[in-house]
Amino acid sequence: MNVAVEVLLGLSAIPPFLRIWRGPTLWDRLVGAASLNLRVTLFLTAHAAFFGHGLLLDVALAYAILGFLGTVLLARFGERGEH
């Protein structure tokens, strides 16, 4: 079951990649990047839970925080660029 969950999480990362690649605006790409950050965090957390790697939970938390900060900074940058 754990392999199936990881495969499904990997497959669920395809639409965010398409949003980043195709997105005509910065906002579309930003939504795709935020969604991809969430998928990577979920993958790391699931892998840590299934295989007992506690260190990956710390990595997932740090990745989630950095992904959130990156999203906020890019949103502020994009907001300033439109004025």
Give pTM, 2 decimals: 0.87
Cα–Cα distance between 50 and 46 in angstroms, integer? 6
To the nearest 10°, the Cα dihedral for 11, 26, 60, 56?
Answer: 60
What pLDDT, in 10s, does the model give residues 29-81? 999 999 999 999 999 999 999 999 999 999 999 999 999 999 999 999 888 87
- φ/ψ region of 52 (left if φ > 0, alpha if ψ in -120 to 50, else beta) reads left
Work out the number of other CB atoms within 10 angstroms of the CB of residue 32.
19
| Interatomic CA distance for residues 37 and 53, integer angstroms | 20
Domain parsing of the chain, residue ranges: 2-81
Rounded CA-CA distance 47/42 in Å is 8
